[in-house]
Amino acid sequence: MTPEMKVAALYLSVSLGCVEAVLETERKGSARHTKLSNLIDHVNRVVDVYRLEAFPLEDMRNAGALIDMVNDELKSMYPVRQAEG
């Protein structure tokens, strides 16, 4: 796997993580949930084009770290208020 292919696969993996985060906020069976789920399926098919070889564990960790950084940054930019109980 070339460095360019790894970068492409990481971009796609990060985008999947972002779409999955949005999917979790939607009600199952809603039009948005269905469209997001279909998008994930389509992007996964594209990811398969770039992952011609098994994606090494180190690269999977890199993708996870990038997704964590994006999540942390979004949380700091747009804090969610906790419901008062």
**pLDDT-based confidence at residue 83 (cuts at 50, 70, 90):** low
Q: What is the mean pLDDT of residues 20-49?
A: 93
Q: Give the C-alpha distances (Å, rounded to integers) separating 15 from 6, 36, 82, 83.
A: 14, 12, 27, 29
Domain coordinates in residue numbering, the chain: 3-77
pLDDT at 14: 84
CB 56 within 8 A of CB 6: no
**Coil/strand/helix, residue 65:** helix
Integer Cα distance of 2 and 62 in angstroms: 16
Q: What is the pLDDT of residues 10-31, one digit of tens each?
A: 888 888 888 998 999 999 999 9
pTM attached to this predicted model? 0.73
pLDDT at 48: 81
Q: What is the pLDDT of residues 64-77, one digit of tens each?
A: 888 888 888 988 99
CB 40 within 8 A of CB 23: yes
Integer Cα distance of 66 and 60 in angstroms: 10
